[in-house]
């Protein structure tokens, strides 16, 4: 009797193991990823943190869906160059190594920005503002060091980020513009080009579908090109919402910027389920994170917006060379840190494709 029971139990566990192993995992089973659906159009990227590839499921998702990565924060001036004579390479190195090992393209982000700058950058040892000459020397040394380290591994750089104002003025007032005027912009491109002549160099900004800001960015890019500054592309960040942008404004931006002969990449795509201002200047949310509700109405509106923007993207395969999502899934996104949970991406909090995903790949 006992022997029979043991055999029976053994058989049962064998069947259970076979059944479990055969259970389809939708992520692994899904034969095609975004990168495959869009292989004839442009690369599909994702902004990641150094910890993302260490998590098995997140790593699997990155590898099955994307063929480009951008470090979300690891290469910014503050994190990578905390003191004048100290660079912190670990996080950026690990992301670049992950890309190289898996033959995934790496976009560098970002060499010159007004946010996330290290404390030492603009001041001397007495705490006084440095001269224009010193600041440009520091910028040159920073760009040369970072770009040289990843030469041949990082194929494109966001060289300068967000220098155009959102209000009615032209240039954003920052420490950079206060000390150097507008000159740091062209200098940054020159330094990056010197360090890696093969890298594709981008100017990167948000709210690029708002007519007034679009015009100002266009004007600046046109001036830079007229001066022979080595700039090859414009990064339209695409921090959008379920209400914006309209199809018309989106197309106008693509047409206007590509008329300059620049390639276009959508560099930081997400679609907030809340309306309101997006981008680097959004006002911080107050208080506790609000209840995480992704309502059917949000789901529907977001799905329609994703469907529309990808329809537009597919119309411009020559002009657009890449579309990068800003974070991997709704489990974590930078928009959560604004006092409420958001659901801006194509994969849900369990890393499963949302309904919007299927609209994006249905064509």
Hey, CA dihedral for 10, 15, 20, 21, is it positive or negative?
positive
Distance CA 1, CA 17 (A): 24
Is residue 84 among the annotated active site residues? no
228 touches 258 (CB < 8 A): no
Query: Given 162, 190, 209, 359, which residue is catalytic?
Result: 162
179 touches 114 (CB < 8 A): no
Which CB atom, from 161 or from 272, has the smaller least distance to ligand 9MR? 161
In the 3-class helix/strand/coil scheme, how is 81-109 assigned residue by residue? CCECCECCCHHHHHHHHHHHHCCCEEEEE
CA 62 to chain centre: 14
Phi and psi at 123, nearest 5°, equal -125, 155
Contact call for residue 336 and ligand 9MR (CB under 6 A): no
Is residue 249 among the annotated active site residues? no
Q: How far is the CB of 172 from ligand 9MR (least distance, A)?
A: 13
Query: Given 190, 209, 268, 359, which residue is catalytic?
Result: 268
Which CB atom, from 190 or from 268, has the smaller least distance to ligand 9MR? 268
Number of H helices, E strands in the chain: 13, 9
Distance CA 50, CA 92 (A): 7
Which CB atom, from 204 or from 321, has the smaller least distance to ligand 9MR? 204
Taking CB under 6 A as the criterion, which residues in 92-111 touch ligand 9MR? none
Distance CA 134, CA 124 (A): 9
Taking CB under 6 A as the criterion, which residues in 223-242 touch ligand 9MR? 237
Contact call for residue 51 and ligand 9MR (CB under 6 A): no
HSE (CB half, 13 Å, CA atoms) of 246? 5
Which CB atom, from 244 or from 359, has the smaller least distance to ligand 9MR? 244
Taking CB under 6 A as the criterion, which residues in 19-48 touch ligand 9MR? none
Contact call for residue 253 and ligand 9MR (CB under 6 A): no
Residue 107 tokens read as 């976009």
Considering only 44, 46, 67, 72, the residue that binds ligand 9MR (CB under 6 A) is 72
Which CB atom, from 65 or from 336, has the smaller least distance to ligand 9MR? 336
Contact call for residue 329 and ligand 9MR (CB under 6 A): no
Contacts with ligand 9MR, 116-155, as mask; x by CB under 6 A: x---------------------------------------
207 touches 244 (CB < 8 A): no
Burial class (CB in 10 A: 0-12, 13-18, 19+), 27: middle
Considering only 6, 9, 115, 289, the residue that binds ligand 9MR (CB under 6 A) is 115
Contacts with ligand 9MR, 262-301, as mask; x by CB under 6 A: ------x----------xx---------------------
State the residue number with the nearest CB to ligand 9MR. Answer: 334
Which CB atom, from 30 or from 331, has the smaller least distance to ligand 9MR? 331
Contact call for residue 334 and ligand 9MR (CB under 6 A): yes
Residue 261 tokens read as 């002969």
Considering only 73, 207, 208, 253, the residue that binds ligand 9MR (CB under 6 A) is 73
Binding residues for ligand 9MR, total number by CB under 6 A: 11
Determine the 3-state secondary structure of 351 from DSSP: coil
Hey, CA dihedral for 298, 300, 305, 306, is it positive or negative?
positive
Q: How far is the CB of 269 from ligand 9MR (least distance, A)?
A: 11
Q: In sequence order, which residues have a C-beta less than 8 Å from that of residue 208 and are 6 or more positions away?
A: 214, 217, 234, 236, 237, 253, 257
Q: Which residues of this chain interact with ligand 9MR, rule CB under 6 A?
A: 72-73, 115-116, 161, 206, 237, 268, 279-280, 334
Active-site residue list:
162, 268
């Amino acid at each position: 009797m006992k022997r029979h029971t043991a055999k029976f139990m053994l058989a049962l566990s064998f069947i259970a193991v076979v059944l479990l192993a055969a259970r389809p995992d939708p992520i692994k089973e899904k034969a095609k990823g975004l990168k495959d659906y869009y292989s004839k159009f442009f690369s599909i990227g994702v902004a990641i943190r150094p910890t993302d590839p260490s998590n098995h499921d997140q790593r699997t998702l990155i590898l099955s869906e994307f063929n480009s990565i951008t470090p979300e924060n690891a290469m910014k001036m503050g994190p990578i160059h905390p003191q004048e004579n100290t660079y912190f390479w670990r996080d950026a190195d690990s992301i670049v190594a992950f890309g190289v090992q898996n033959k995934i393209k790496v976009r560098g982000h970002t060499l010159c920005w007004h946010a996330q700058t290290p404390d030492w950058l603009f001041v001397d040892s007495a705490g006084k503002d440095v001269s224009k000459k010193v600041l440009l020397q520091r910028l040159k040394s920073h760009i040369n060091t970072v770009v040289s380290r990843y030469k041949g591994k990082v194929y494109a750089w966001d060289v300068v980020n967000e220098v155009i104002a959102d209000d009615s003025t032209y240039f954003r007032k920052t420490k950079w513009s206060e000390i150097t005027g507008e000159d740091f912009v062209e200098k940054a491109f020159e330094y990056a080009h010197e360090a890696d002549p093969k890298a594709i160099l981008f100017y990167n900004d948000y709210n690029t579908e708002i007519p007034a800001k679009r015009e100002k960015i266009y004007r600046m890019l046109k001036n830079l090109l007229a001066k022979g500054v080595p700039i090859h592309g414009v990064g339209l960040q695409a921090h959008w919402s379920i209400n914006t942008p309209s199809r018309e404004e989106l197309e106008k931006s693509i047409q206007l910027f590509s008329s300059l002969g620049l390639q276009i990449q959508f560099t930081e795509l997400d679609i907030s389920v809340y309306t309101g201002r997006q981008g680097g200047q959004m006002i911080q949310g107050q208080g506790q994170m609000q209840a995480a509700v992704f309502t059917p109405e949000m789901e529907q509106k977001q799905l329609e917006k994703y469907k529309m923007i990808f329809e537009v993207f597919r119309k411009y395969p020559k002009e657009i060379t890449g579309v990068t999502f800003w974070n991997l899934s709704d489990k974590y996104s930078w928009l959560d840190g604004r006092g409420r949970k958001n659901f801006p991406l194509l994969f849900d909090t369990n890393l499963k494709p949302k309904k919007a995903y299927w609209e994006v790949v249905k064509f």
